[in-house]
Amino acid sequence: MNRRQLIQFFAGLGVVASLIAAPVQAQDKPIKIGVTAGPHAEIMEQVKKLLDKDGVKLQIIEFTDYIQPNAALAGGDLDANSYQHQPYLDAQIKDRGYKFVSVGSTITFPMGIYSKKIKSLDELKSGARIGVPNDPTNGGRALLVLQAKGVIKLKADAGLKATPLDIVDNPKKVKIVELDAAQLPRSLDDFDAAVINGNFAESAGLSPTKDAISVEASTGPYANVLAVRTADKDKPWVAKLVKAYHSPEVKKFVLEKYKGSVITSW
């Protein structure tokens, strides 16, 4: 075999080697999952440990808002996310055309009303300022909580997409101030009260069971979900992700860590 033939021979071996190695590299690529800081991230760390044992590498990426995790999933920067409840996901799919599907329920955070100025909603003064999330579904959910507690009354057909414009009765003339959900805990001093999502309350050291002056009813449609692109829903890693999340180990962690302020939904 002459020099030229040797070069061609070893070059061919290199191509074969790369073809053989390619599937291994693809399997070694971590699954990227987006979460919000706090319980979602903490629980996913437990899921990651279980997936490691199952040969699945998980990369957890934290976000501080409700918009980017879905945008990143749609753009291919994430493979899955775990931070939103089903009504919010449904609204995002409808409004933005995302081709997503939920593949499993995760946890429920009861929404609470918090205040540094009053101990009861009965103490609300005329013209009190109440902060609520500014994203459509969580804002509507917060208004429904305020309605359930007798603070305001909404149009009969307002539903989860209620906005301050849907308020038809406001006995104490409270002023509803919309703010990014993640900013509400740190802005609590600026309000007479604020309706805060459970995950952001937990991240700020607030417990619905200890610190809230009023809490959303425990029953409702607000279970959080694992979301993936519809095209990926039948991939093997998805089933492994759901199995790890729905494990007895994760359920025990949630119960012991959050003591009822976060509830498993499976």
Mean model confidence pLDDT for the chain: 90
d(CA 127, CA 5) in angstroms, rounded, equals: 88
189 has a pLDDT exceeding 70: yes
Predicted local distance difference test score (pLDDT) of residue 4? 57
Least confident of 24-33, 87-96, 153-162, 179-188: 24-33
% of the chain exceeding 70 in pLDDT: 89
Burial of 139 (0-12, 13-18, 19+ CB in 10 A): buried
d(CA 162, CA 155) in angstroms, rounded, equals: 8
Q: pLDDT digits over 159-168, tens only? A: 888 999 999 9
> If pLDDT is split at 50, 70 and 90, which confidence band does 37 have?
very high
Q: Which amino acid is at 242?
A: V
> If pLDDT is split at 50, 70 and 90, which confidence band does 23 have?
very low
Predicted local distance difference test score (pLDDT) of residue 261? 83
> If pLDDT is split at 50, 70 and 90, which confidence band does 19 have?
very low
pTM over 0.75: no
d(CA 30, CA 157) in angstroms, rounded, equals: 45
d(CA 61, CA 1) in angstroms, rounded, equals: 53
10 has a pLDDT exceeding 80: no
Q: pLDDT digits over 80-118, tens only? A: 999 999 999 999 999 999 999 999 999 998 899 999 999
